[in-house]
A = this chain, B = another copy of it.
Amino acid sequence: MNFSINRDLLLMNLTNVSKALSTKTPMPVLTGIKFDLKQDFLLLTASNNEISIQAMIKNKKQLKIEGEGSFVVPGKFLIDIVRKLDAKTIEFNAVEENIVKVFADRSDFTLNTLEKINFPLISFAESDTFIKLDVGSLKQIIRKTTFATSLSEARAILTGVSFNVSTNKLEAIATDSYRLAKKFITFEQKNSNVGVVIPSRSLDELNKILSDDNDSETEIHFSPTKALFKYKNLLYQTRLIEGTYPNTNSLIPTDFLTSIKFNKAELMAAIDRAALFTNVESSNIIQLQLSADKTVEISSTTNEIGGVIEELTPLECSNAVHFKIAFTAKYFLEAIKSFDSSEITVHFTGEIKPFIITGDFDYNLTQLILPVRVS
C-alpha cells in the first residue's frame, strides 16, 4: 500500500492527533500514531488513557492512495521528520512487513513500525444526547474555568470541570475548594439534561486544537463514561471523571457589603507588584484595604525583603465602608485574567467571607475566591 500526501496537511493533522500520544506508558504501541488507509480516505488515530483522537483526511487533490491497509509508527518521531522536511509532497510506502518507507525530495527514510495488533480498538461512537455550540463559546468555557480545577488527586472529582446541560443552558463549574469559576451559555434549541465531569487536562489539550475560527460549529456527544467532541475533520474523545460533583449553588453570595469597580489592567499591575513580596510556594497572601474615602490599598510584607503598598482609586464604590481582606494573589490574578472586560467589579460580603468578581462584558461569568484569615 502506498500514498502521497501534502506535507502541510499531514503535519497539521499529525500535530492535532499527537495531543493524545502517550509519553510514559507500559504499552509502547500507544506512543505511536495509527495510519488506516482506505480506498478514498486516511485515518490517523492516537490514544492514551484519557484522550483518543482521530483525524480523517479526504482531500483528493492533496492525498493520492494506492491500496488499503494500516500501520503504526512512532508518533513524536514521525512529527519531527515531517517538520524538518521542506518538500511539498511526502510519499509513504508500506509494502514490507514491519517497515514503512518515507520519501520526500531526496530524503529516503526507513521506519520500523510498532506492532499494530497491540493498538487498541477505539470506538468513537456518537450519542443521542449531544449539544451543538460554536467554537468560540467552547473556547470561552475552557479558558475561563479549567484554571480553577484542583491539581490534587485527593478529591479526583475536583480535577475536572462539571458540565451541566439543562433544557436550554450549559453551565460549567470548576473549583479546587479555595476558589470557583462558573460560566454558562444558553441555547436556542432544546437539549436533554446531562451532568458530567470532564478532566481539566482533556479540555486544555482540546483548546490547543481549536482554531481561531470561532464561528465553526462543534458537537459534544455524551455517553455514560465518555464525551466525544466533533470538530472539523477530528473526533476528540475523553473519558469522564466518575462520581458526584458537589453542589456549589449555595456558595455564591448574592448580598454584598460593598461592590468596587476597577480598571482591570491597573488592578492586575498593582496585584502583580504586591505579589512580589510574597512567596508563591508558601503563602502568596496579599491584603486589600478599603478606606472611608474610597481609596484602596493593596499591600504585602515579608520580614526578609521588605514590603509594598499600592494605592488605587476605584472607578466606583457602592458603599465606602472601612474594610480589610486578605487572599491569595495567584488566585485573584488568574480570576481577573479570565475576564475580557476592561472593567471588573469585586463584590465583597465580609472580611472573612467569599467574594465574587464579575465583568461588564463577560456575560454569565462569575469568579469566586475564599479569603484567608490573617492576624
Contact = CB atoms under 8 A, between A and B. Distances in A.
B108 A77 contact: no
A309 B109 CA distance: 7
A111 B305 contact: yes
Contacts of A305: 74, 77, 111-112
Given A74-B305, A304-B112, A305-B77, A310 B106 contact: yes
A84 B269 CA distance: 7
Interface residues on A, range: 20 to 34
Given A269-B84, A311-B106, A99 B276 contact: no
Interface in A239-288: 269-270, 272-273, 276
A317 interface: no
Interface string A103-117: 000111111100000
A307 interface: yes
A80 interface: yes
Nearest to A275: B84
Contacts of A85: 273
A265 to B, nearest CB: 10
A110 B308 contact: yes
A110 B273 contact: no
Contacts of A94: none
A318 B84 CA distance: 30
A26 interface: no
Contact of A108 (B109, B269, B309): B309
A86 interface: yes
Given A74-B305, A80-B276, A276-B80, A311 B108 contact: yes
A81 interface: yes
A269 B110 contact: no
B99 A310 contact: no
A182 to B, nearest CB: 30
A306 B81 CA distance: 12
Interface string A77-94: 100110011100000000
A112 B81 contact: no
A288 to B, nearest CB: 14
Which interface residue of A77, A99, A106, A272 has the most chain B CB atoms within 10 A?
A: A106
Contacts of A86: 269
Given A108-B311, A311-B106, A306 B99 contact: yes
A139 B300 CA distance: 43
B80 A306 contact: no
B306 A110 contact: yes
Interface string A354-375: 0000000000000000000000
Interface of A: 74, 77, 80-81, 84-86, 99, 106-112, 269-270, 272-273, 276, 304-312
17 contacts: A77-B276, A77-B305, A81-B273, A84-B272, A106-B310, A106-B311, A106-B312, A107-B273, A107-B308, A107-B311, A108-B308, A108-B309, A108-B310, A108-B311, A109-B306, A112-B305, A112-B306
Given A81-B273, A108-B311, 5 more contacts: A77-B305, A99-B306, A106-B312, A109-B308, A112-B306
> Which 6 residue pairs of A and B lie closest in terms of their CB atoms, listed nearest first?
A106-B311, A111-B306, A110-B306, A108-B309, A109-B308, A110-B307
